[in-house]
Structure 1
């Protein structure tokens, strides 16, 4: 039986969900393998950090120009290229013979992710009419969210049975299936009247964002007030300001900054960034807490993240349904308030709290994050004209990634400061004391090596103190976001007609059928 365009759109959505599942994996799976890779590749701390950070750097830095390229040359075509790049980089990382080769492969993975993410969301904006778009978006968000706990679970299992390169090979069959499905099911879409390429805007945006994210990555280690750090941030601000100045005056800008005149678009972006900040904060502190304070291995830690994702998935569904009935404002504000509540409960964690208490508060936080994220993203997509879907979604994803990188840098500095101040290394040799101050994992390893349970207890208590501060900061930001959303985000749109940038209910159907 042949599929109607309506049915085929949902099959195409399944292909898009497969595409982003691998990005969810790569958020967490790498952390599980770092200790093994450090031994097998003789990699130092700097090399290990750049194995993680090179991915983030390219992912955040390239999305803006790539979104515009997708609008101009075709979203399906670029998505296929992005998946091919991601698969090739996964193969390269799996058989890399040195830490430098892994860093390069991870950077190329970031390029692939920077192509996949905005083109996937742009395809949803083009394929689905407003009444269905929230539901479609929630499916993709849940697909990416499912990859987050699956990363350490699959990574731990693979490391127990194979070599470290197997954590990258898991991407390949998923990408192969996604490429076949996209080639068969997803119609091509592009801007019917593309603007001239904005090379100046592309150079300014890419260099500015790369510099900003690089500065955020390096600041915790070098020091926030060091001249090199301040210079990097200053250069980033100048480049980004020059980009904005150019875009507002260019006859053919790379992105339409006038979209920010829409309060729905602006606050959708603000809230999506705040929600991501809370999620990154959770993923930053909880796995280490489960592993080195509660004593679970990497595989068990992954399993114990499932309540967080369970809450997230329930929240995504609830937020999507509410947004369809009453608009984006209330579900987003409620989700941020629930997030703040969960994080506030988590901030009362002490050294004697167990997994049950942790699961309670981060499930509540996950419920709030899911409830706010999909309405925020749908609010952004709702005001994008289809021909600008790629560049518009690239703005949202760039703000989320850059804000997340900067947020993790700030949160990491706060956590590190509290941890270092509260850690008792009295009586330790200088080398051992330095290793203990460097990280909780280092302190636990030193305590085990020298047979000092008091050091392990001090390190765990110091980490919990730092985690409390991180959760308080995240809760305060989420709460402020909820209040500001209620004050400034538009409510339900008028029923007098569609938004001027939205399709009428039959347009998406006609566009799909004619593709």
Structure 2
């Protein structure tokens, strides 16, 4: 009798690469929408009169809900079927897109983005959680690279198609474009993706979910409001305190749970923890960059929405090259060296970008943007694969949910913190001398608003001051991004496990989790 191992059975199933296509279609929906919104924000700020803080909320409403619900979403997939929950997430994403297209103001857009965040929370971890059951460890790096390349492909397509839509239609069209994308994703999941589940997975804890959502929401709200109100404002301090207490309560509750939603045994495992931290800090940097770049390209350099999308291509090109090349480089030098080097490249690009001036022009921007893409690709792909490699198969959904939750928390904090740093620096540098109080207040909301006020007042000085103030704020953001990437590189070089340790960790983690689960029962 011939014994067939799990890995041999996986290799014989040729449908697994077609199934990967279903996951790619699902991830395209998320990446496509995120980059479209970044390009659309300046247009929406002009048409809806949105301040920088309101723009941050249009971006962060999605990210905060996304991060808060990803852990329970992963558990729902483990328990009731990952394909079923993935299709449900795509349906919710579609509903949110329709609400956004029909929204009549800033509040409607924020609500729509929150609904889309619920759908995204189901899509992201479940698309990743099926990889360990579909592919062998040798193939998984390639599969992660394919998904990363798909996400990278969606990033340049989003701004280009979004820019074309904004040049020809109203801003709500950037939401409607999700309809055919979701349709493709649902069809691919139904036809190609096998159903997988783990009925023994922990149940979704409503209290822990509420603690996550409210704690993250309080922290993000405090960070966004701080530049306008002041960091010592009573409300801001109270929100920081409430957010800290709620998230501390979450950690304490999960540590006492027999089958926790937030699996602390995974965080105690060095390979998972350090790779997740690296991926999270990269998302902090990238989210901040993607928030500050479109207003610079549109308001300061004077390009339209389509031109802005096209001018983001150097970063996407560098990212796609690095995502495709990560696997052979990791095989030769090891994940620790590649992740560390990628983060150093990212730091160098951010420091180079911080030298941008009003007169630098697009050529200099294209240079450092392309380097950003290379650094991002070589750091995030091996970091995510290293984290996924440590997950036991019966914790694939909750583990990948934890990974993506922490990444999205990094993204949310990146948008909130770096956006707030930008808003404060812009407002402090903007020269509103001679303007009426109301016009001065409006001009300080954003660089887009300042240009509108300058046009109405016929003030070339205000427009020049707005450009100078924005570039100053962007330079400060890039300096912080560079420092964050450099610190991350040092942590990765010092603490990420070597190749031999990484190969042993999945088995050790699986045994640890299984023994603790058995003890709990």
Task: Tell me how far apart the structure 1 counterparts of residues 240 and 84 of structure 2 sit (CA, whole Å).
Answer: 35
> Could you tell me the TM-score, scaled by structure 2's length?
0.89
The question of whether the paired residues in 1 share the 8 Å contact of 2:63 and 2:411 is answered with no
Correspondence for 1:112: 119
Task: Tell me how far apart the structure 2 counterparts of residues 244 and 180 of structure 1 sit (CA, whole Å).
Answer: 39
Is 1:215 paired with 2:222?
Answer: yes
Is 1:299 paired with 2:306?
Answer: yes
Measured after TM superposition, the shift of residue 33 of structure 1 is 4.1
5+ residue gaps, structure 2: 1-9, 511-521
Measured after TM superposition, the shift of residue 40 of structure 1 is 6.7
Task: Tell me how far apart the structure 1 counterparts of residues 268 and 344 of structure 2 sit (CA, whole Å).
Answer: 26
Match of 1:408 among 412, 415, 423: 415
Measured after TM superposition, the shift of residue 220 of structure 1 is 3.8
Change (3 A) 1:461 1:25: same
> Could you tell me the TM-score, scaled by structure 1's length?
0.90
Counterparts of 1:189-268 in structure 2 under 5 Å? 189-268=196-275
Task: Tell me how far apart the structure 1 counterparts of residues 449 and 39 of structure 2 sit (CA, whole Å).
Answer: 15
The question of whether the paired residues in 2 share the 8 Å contact of 1:213 and 1:406 is answered with yes
Match of 2:318 among 300, 311, 324: 311
The question of whether the paired residues in 2 share the 8 Å contact of 1:422 and 1:462 is answered with yes
Correspondence for 1:506: none
Measured after TM superposition, the shift of residue 48 of structure 1 is 5.6
Match of 2:24 among 17, 20, 25: 17
Is 1:359 paired with 2:366?
Answer: yes
Q: Deviations over 1:232-254 (max 9, x none)?
A: 22122112112211222211212
Mean Cα displacement is larger for which, 410-419 or 485-494? Answer: 410-419
Task: Tell me how far apart the structure 2 counterparts of residues 497 and 52 of structure 1 sit (CA, whole Å).
Answer: 40
Correspondence for 1:441: 448
Match of 1:83 among 81, 84, 90: 90
Task: Tell me how far apart the structure 2 counterparts of residues 227 and 495 of structure 1 sit (CA, whole Å).
Answer: 47
The question of whether the paired residues in 1 share the 8 Å contact of 2:314 and 2:370 is answered with yes
Task: Tell me how far apart the structure 2 counterparts of residues 260 and 124 of structure 1 sit (CA, whole Å).
Answer: 20
Task: Tell me how far apart the structure 1 counterparts of residues 41 and 416 of structure 2 sit (CA, whole Å).
Answer: 19
Measured after TM superposition, the shift of residue 484 of structure 1 is 1.5
Is 1:283 paired with 2:290?
Answer: yes
CA RMSD of aligned residues (A): 2.5
SS at match of 1:441: helix
Measured after TM superposition, the shift of residue 45 of structure 1 is 7.5
Is 1:173 paired with 2:173?
Answer: no
Is 1:387 paired with 2:394?
Answer: yes
5+ residue gaps, structure 1: 504-515
Change (3 A) 1:203 1:428: closer
SS at match of 2:132: helix
Change (3 A) 1:212 1:437: closer
Matched length = 501
Counterparts of 1:151-190 in structure 2 under 5 Å? 151-190=158-197
The question of whether the paired residues in 2 share the 8 Å contact of 1:213 and 1:402 is answered with no
Measured after TM superposition, the shift of residue 490 of structure 1 is 0.7
Change (3 A) 1:178 1:499: same
The question of whether the paired residues in 2 share the 8 Å contact of 1:307 and 1:359 is answered with yes
Task: Tell me how far apart the structure 2 counterparts of residues 311 and 318 of structure 1 sit (CA, whole Å).
Answer: 11
Measured after TM superposition, the shift of residue 6 of structure 1 is 4.0
